[in-house]
Structures are given as C-alpha cells and as structure tokens.
Chains A and B, each alone.
Chain A
C-alpha cells in the first residue's frame, strides 16, 4: 500500500512520556538560553572600565595637617577621613571599651595592619572611610570631649546626623547606635613620613 501521508485514527497513538520529555527538554533549554542572554545585561550594571580606572589609588600630603586636625579627601567617590591624632586622643581610646559594640574590631572591616588598638598603621594617623556603616551618611566630627549635646561620657569622635550612630576616635561604634560595625579602614600606605597613599596596601 502506498504511503499517502494520512494518519488514520488507529495509527495515531500519542507517546505521553516522550512528549513530556520533549516539553521538559525544550523548556529547560529555553530557560538556560534566557539565563545566558540575561548575563550581559546584568554585567552591564557593574562598574565600567572608566569607573574602575578612576578608582585608582590617591595621594595625600600630610605635612599641613596639624595634631588634632582632620582632613577629608576622596577615593573611589568615598570621602576619606584622615585624622592627625594627639597623644591625648590616642590615650582616651582604652577608657571606654565597655561602651563599644565591637571594641576589638573583630566584626569590622580593616586591613590586617590596622586590626589593632588604634586601628591604624601608626597611632598618630587615623585613616577611615567617612561613610557611616549604617546607611552611608557622613558622620560629623565632634572631637571636643564631654560634648554637652551628646553626653558626659563622650570621649570625642563622630556623630552621624542621619540616624545618630556614634563613633570614637578610632572609628569604633558605640552601643545604642543603629550602625552595627566600626567605620571601615581603607587600604593605605605611607610613601614617605608625611605622604599618604590611599587604595594600596604597600608602595
């Protein structure tokens, strides 16, 4: 009998398991394709080559910074606080451990060489990322101890105007602040006795 190409009813048997396999395979291939197609669009949102190039290390001359003063510079669009701490300021750091959330900075972010009592390479210079670890506002400097607006316990430090987080002169956060961890210490190094480089671990 010649093949007419017509399927009669008794020949027409649907292989359900085969159909299910084909459906699943098609859907899975399609889903995989969507995932691959989405990747470039998702990747387009990461910092561009230009943004990365502009994020290279930045230098700061420390000579004009007198003891007790703070200056602000910018690295990777973030304000960097550099404080020339006096001996008195450094001395207060050990006096209020009990009031701090993370006195040893064990849950906080800093390079290994700043994971110490003063959170710095040398006790006199403190380098911090000046954005509150809570939600990124700029904590304001209140270096005067016992500031009546803050409280008699106040050893000097920063107060965030947005949500009231308080930090001491090593950037460590006080109990009762919405921020949970200490201010971050960026990678930095000294290119000379009075020359700071922010963004690298060594020069």
Chain B
C-alpha cells in the first residue's frame, strides 16, 4: 500500500507507509530533493569531477578504519610502537585495517590534489565560488594537520623526528617561538605528553572539525552550484520548469557515474593495499619500523610524499625564518587565487597560452618539489627544490599579470557537450 506525500518545491511522491510515517516527523523527502534529485549539476562533467566524491569515500574509509585501529592501539611512549606491532601481527586482519588506514591517508591526498587541480584547470575558485574554495582550503589545512598527527602515533623513529622538525617550525616565530614550542610539546622535548595530545587531536578534535568543514563545503556548493569544464554558469539559462537547461539531476545521473568512478578507485586502492602497502617506502617508510629514538636522527628525514613540496621549500632557503615564512606563504597563496586571477574567462579551455604555460609549470614545480623533498640535502636536490620554489610562486605572484594581458577565446553562451551517440 502506498501513500502520496507532497514535498514543497518538488512533485508529489508515491511512497511506502513506513516512509510516509517518517516524512510526517522528519524532512526526508525534502532532503533527498534538495541534495540529490532536485540538485541540478552541469551535464558536461568529465573525468576530473570524480575526485570530490572520491574524497568523501576516503573520508568515510578513514573514519571507519580509524575507529577500529583505536580499539587496539595503546597511546604512550612505552606502548604505542608495540601496540602497532600487535595490530600488525596478532589482531585478526589487523594488518588489513592498518594498511587500509595508511594507504587511505595517501589516497586522501592524491584525490584531494587532483580535486584541487580540477579547480585550477576550470577556474572553479572564481566568483561566485570564492567561499567554496576557501572552505575547501581550510579542509586541506585540517587534513594536513590530521595526517601529521596520525604520522606521529606509531612512535617510530621517523614519527619522532617528523614531530621534532614540524613542531620546531613554530620556534622560528619571533619572540613567542620558544615558549610556543614548549607549550605544544608539554615537555622539554618531544615526549609522552606530546604523543598523548596528538592522539587526542588525531582521533577526536580534527576529525570533528573535518566533518563540519566538509559539510560547510557542501552547503556552499549547494548555493553556488558546481562549476563545469566550460567555466560558465548554467543558472543563466533556466528552462520553463525553473531548472537550468544545461543541468541534470545529481541523482540518478551523477550518482550512477560516480559509482563507476568509485568502483575503479576501489580496484586501484585494493591493489595497493594488498600487493604494495608500503609502496617502496613512499607510503610507509623503513625508518619508521624502528622505535622512536631521541638520540638517533634517521640518515635522511623526509615527510610523507604529500607534504614534501612544502618541506622542500622550507629547507631550500638558507635562513630559517625566511624558510618558515615561505612555507606559510606557499600554503596561504591558494587562499588568494580567486582575487589573483583577473581573467574574464574561468576555464583553461578559453584562457590563453600564458595561463596554460604557468599552470603546466606549476604542476611540474609541485611534482619537482615532491621529488626533491624526498631526497637528502645533496646540492642537486637543493637546486631542484629552489628552481621549483621559484616556479611555484611565479604561478601565484604573476597571475594578476598574465591573466590580464593574455588573449582569451570567448567563452560559449551554453555548455558545449554532445552526449554519446
């Protein structure tokens, strides 16, 4: 037996009695209509639009596996390292849960970087999506903090020294630096107190903040609507039903498309988890298979690959304050993108060759910094790091200039898209 319910702003829905019971007490139909069936997204999403939903998938994966790891992990200078060994060797499928979590951390950054590249490619950060972009960047900052705290928890030697180096970056702040560092550590060196508070931040504080921020990111997205590869606003052309002519309902069209993307992602992800979980030292570093030792620095200290770009910038500068300042600016620069880009068009499809060249150089610089930061301090890697640092900042600093003087192609009035025959 079915009942008809009438969500405002949506056609009447025939629904089961149980759902109708809920509908009277909870705005289920409105939610589905607002978020899925009544949310119109541009019809020309391509490959690059998979990575938003993939970051959500990885977020859920990290929360889920993280909760299970917390059931077996024992925080403490004396217990952290051995409890991770316990998880790996004695908990049934503990190795799987941990590898899912450690691979998930890298996967998170991979999909977030590709998601951000999409924004650079199609100008998704430009008006009216500045706030959406800024919230996204705060998510990225929270994610870096989350990854750093998590990295310290196994209390391997690389965990210890990563904590030492990163916490000491705050010591370069004039006047308050040394006191601030002691406050963060809660001791005169990286110690039990530090490990314990990083645990609290990693499993409670930052995940809560991340969930809230991701929700705000989606709320802002619902207001502006998604960008698209043509970089034009589909809301400029509404059909008689009040919906954008060039838009299609998110559900079922994009939920189905995303299901395929998630499937492909999970295949690749599983291959890494089951066959190459350490990824030759990139995802889990050999130096971390040794317990934290305050009296022995690993031969080469390198952070995980996803943070090496900033690390390479930091160490390439022969002045500690300037290095720390550039590190900060390298991250803050993203926040100003909406106002640095003066181009009349959003998408790289219609921008000129200068924009394309600078974006290409930026990508090369970012990859170069990842590469240089993974190596020691031999002159060649420092040099690569410095050249890439210059290219990295050139992308941002020169943007007001090159986006203004270049010749752009006119953006089309309607989306250019032909469905498969």
Q: Do the two chains bind?
A: yes
Residues of A within 8 A of B (CB): 42, 45-48, 51, 55, 72, 74, 76-79, 131, 133-138, 140, 161-164, 176-180
Option from B193, B295, B376 in Cβ contact (under 8 Å) with A161: B376
With A72-B295, A77-B294, A178-B323 known to touch, is A47 a contact of B165 (CB < 8 Å)? no
Q: Which of B193, B296, B297 has the most CB of A within 10 A?
A: B297
Chain B nearest Cβ from A179, distance in angstroms: 6
User: How far apart sit A43 and B182, CA to CA, in the bound complex (Å)?
Assistant: 12
Q: Which residues of chain B from 142 to 184 have any CB-CB distance to chain A below 8 Å in the complex?
A: 161, 164-165, 167-169, 171, 182-184
In the complex, which residues 263-310 of chain B have their Cβ closer than 8 Å to any Cβ of chain A?
A: 294-301
CA distance A134 to B182 in the complex (A): 16
Determine how close the nearest CB of chain B comes to the CB of A61; give it in whole angstroms. Answer: 18
Say whether A137 contacts B164, CB under 8 Å: yes
Which one of B33-41, B313-321, B360-368 is at the interface? B313-321
Chain B neighbourhood of A77, CB < 8 A: 187-191, 294
Is A178 within 8 A of B188, CB to CB?
Answer: no
Residues from chain A with a CB closer than 8 A to the CB of B382 are 164
A selection of 12 A-B contacts at a CB cut-off of 8 Å is: A45-B183, A47-B188, A77-B191, A78-B294, A79-B294, A135-B320, A137-B161, A138-B295, A161-B297, A161-B377, A162-B297, A180-B320
B186 at the interface (CB under 8 A from A): yes
Query: What is the minimal beta-carbon distance from A158 to any residue of chain B, in angstroms?
Result: 11
Chain B residue contacts of A72, Cβ below 8 A? 295
Residues of B within 8 A of A178 (CB): 315, 317-320, 323
Tell me which residues across on chain A come within 8 A of B298, comparing CB atoms. 161
Residues on A with beta carbons closer than 8 Å to the beta carbon of B377: 161-164
In the complex, which of the residues B164, B193, B314, B320 contacts A48, with contact meaning CB atoms closer than 8 Å?
A: B193
Q: Is the CB of B188 within 8 A of A48?
A: no
Q: Which of B169, B323, B377 has the most CB of A within 10 A?
A: B377
Contacting pair A51 B317 (CB below 8 A): no
Task: With A77-B189, A135-B169 as known contacts, state yes or no: A46 contacts B182, CB within 8 Å.
Answer: yes
Nearest A residue (CB) for B324: A135
B197 within 8 A of A: yes
Q: Are B297 and A138 in contact (CB under 8 A)?
A: yes
For residue B184, which residues in chain A have a CB less than 8 angstroms away from its CB? 45
Known: A45-B197, A161-B300, A178-B315. A136 touches B165 (CB 8 A): yes
Contact (Cβ within 8 A) B318 A176: yes
Are the C-beta atoms of A135 and B165 separated by less than 8 Å? yes
Whether the Cβ atoms of B323 and A45 lie closer than 8 Å is no
B295 touches A135 (CB 8 A): no
Nearest A residue to B185 via CB reads A47
Chain B residues bordering chain A, tally (CB within 8 A): 38
Interface secondary structure of A, over-half rule: loop
Collect the chain A residues with CB atoms within 8 Å of residue B169's CB.
135
Q: Are B187 and A51 in contact (CB under 8 A)?
A: yes
Q: Which of B366-388 contact A (CB under 8 A)?
A: 376-377, 382
Residues of B within 8 A of A137 (CB): 161, 164-165, 297, 301
Q: Is the beta-carbon distance between B182 and A74 smaller than 8 angstroms?
A: no
- Given A163-B377, A178-B315, verify A134-B320 contact (CB < 8 Å): yes
Q: Which residue of B lies closest to A46 (CB)?
A: B183
Tell me the bound Cα distance from A81 to B336 in angstroms. Answer: 45
**Given that A161-B300, A161-B376, A180-B320 are known contacts, is A55 also in contact with B188, CB under 8 Å in the complex?**
yes
A55 to B165, CA, bound (A): 21
Q: How far is the CB of B267 from chain A (nearest CB, A)?
A: 38
Q: How far is the CA of A51 from the CA of B191 in the complex (A)?
A: 9
Set of chain B residues within 8 Å of A140, measured between Cβ atoms: 297
Knowing that A136-B168, A177-B318 touch, tell me 17 more A-B residue pairs with CB under 8 angstroms.
A45-B197, A46-B182, A47-B182, A47-B186, A76-B189, A77-B187, A78-B294, A133-B320, A135-B168, A136-B164, A140-B297, A161-B298, A161-B377, A162-B297, A176-B318, A178-B323, A180-B321
Contact A51/B193 with A45-B186, A77-B188, A178-B320 known, Cβ cut-off 8 Å = yes
CB B293 to nearest CB in A, in angstroms, measures 10
Please report the C-alpha to C-alpha distance between residue A48 and residue B187 in the assembled complex, in whole angstroms: 7
Q: Which of A72, A79, A140 has the most CB of B within 10 A?
A: A79
- Alpha-carbon separation in the docked complex, A96 to B169 (Å): 29
Instruction: Tell me how far the C-beta of A193 lies from the nearest C-beta in chain B, rounded to whole angstroms.
Output: 27
Chain B residues whose CB sits within 8 angstroms of the CB of A51 once the complex forms: 186-188, 191, 193
The 7 closest A-B pairs by CB, nearest first: A77-B189, A76-B188, A164-B377, A136-B168, A163-B315, A138-B297, A135-B168
B299 lies within 8 A of A161 (CB): yes
Which single residue of chain B is at the shortest CB-CB distance from A133?
Answer: B320
Contacts of A55 in B (CB 8 A): 188
Known: A136-B168, A138-B295. A78 touches B189 (CB 8 A): yes
Smallest Cβ distance from B62 to chain A, in angstroms?
A: 26
Minimum CB–CB distance from B239 to chain A (whole Å) comes to 47
A136 to B301: give the CA distance in the assembly, Å.
Answer: 11
Question: Of residues B197, B295, B317, which shows the largest number of chain A Cβ atoms within 10 Å of its Cβ?
Answer: B295
By beta carbon, the residue of chain B nearest A75 is B188
For the complex formed, measure the closest distance between the CB of A50 and the CB atoms of chain B, giving whole angstroms: 9
- A77–B315 Cα gap in the complex (Å)? 25
CB of B165 within 8 A of CB of A162, answer yes
CA distance A19 to B376 in the complex (A): 64
